Homo-oligomer: A and B are copies of this chain.
């Protein structure tokens, strides 16, 4: 009775429901119920993204999303805490990928440099459609953030929550204690801000570029070199990118 998944694109995301940790539960022997839940969840995500792309975020109601999957709107809220939460699942996956790539970087790289390469390579792969990531959804999210303040704010909030995790990872790599050393915090925060800046630059059309990864890479490079630039009056007009 529910052939709703027929039109779903092959985006097999293993995002756990309430899994705050990036547990990639493949759930091999989860049973039929678990499978059905997973399918319903993915169908909701798919339906949501599609409707958002068509009508925009605000104009799309939860009921419409649920109707498209043939479940009640009440059920929707059993899968997602809010309408924004649907979008966060995608960001979770991206963050997890960056995290993994970062851990794999050689330990002789400075922190920012390591994150730089990890992030850029991940995004590049994402742009090329590798890793099972959906470039279309990536673009959709960007467009939504641009148009809807609610999405934008939610994304920022979510990023800030990941910030704590990132701080811990960075502190570990630096071999310092994050409870006494403030440096990991600044680093994690700066990294987060670079991502948002790249997003913003692309959305606002301030810079003309083809790829998100290019902007991101450039921003990271600036951050690596230090950014306490002199004022115009005290500085010689050095060649600026």
Copies in the complex: 2
Which of B114, B200, B207 contacts A163 (CB under 8 A)? B200
Q: Is the CB of B185 within 8 A of A197?
A: yes
Q: Is the CB of B228 within 8 A of A110?
A: yes
Identify whether the interface residues of A are mostly helix, strand, loop, or mixed: helix
Q: Is the CB of A186 within 8 A of B180?
A: no
Which of B154, B174, B180, B183 contacts A222 (CB under 8 A)? B183
A140 located at the interface, meaning its Cβ lies under 8 Å from any Cβ of chain B in the complex = no
Q: Is the CB of B232 within 8 A of A174?
A: yes
Which of B111, B156, B181, B201 contacts A228 (CB under 8 A)? B111
A60 located at the interface, meaning its Cβ lies under 8 Å from any Cβ of chain B in the complex = no
| Chain B residues whose C-beta falls within 8 Å of the C-beta of A234 in the assembled complex | 107-110
Q: Is the CB of B160 within 8 A of A185?
A: no
Within 8 A of B (CB), among A187-241: 187, 189-190, 192-194, 196-197, 200-201, 204, 206-207, 215, 218-219, 222-235, 237, 240-241
Nearest Cβ distance between residue A111 and chain B, in whole angstroms?
5
Q: Is the CB of A207 within 8 A of B186?
A: no
A149 located at the interface, meaning its Cβ lies under 8 Å from any Cβ of chain B in the complex = yes
A20 located at the interface, meaning its Cβ lies under 8 Å from any Cβ of chain B in the complex = no
Within 8 A of B (CB), among A120-171: 149, 152-154, 156-157, 160, 163-164
Within 8 A of B (CB), among A25-65: none
Q: A153-B154, A183-B240 are in contact. List 14 more A-B contacts (CB 8 A).
A: A107-B231, A109-B231, A109-B234, A111-B227, A152-B160, A164-B204, A173-B232, A174-B229, A175-B235, A176-B240, A182-B222, A182-B241, A189-B190, A189-B194
The 5 closest A-B pairs by CB, nearest first: A175-B232, A153-B157, A226-B226, A193-B193, A189-B193
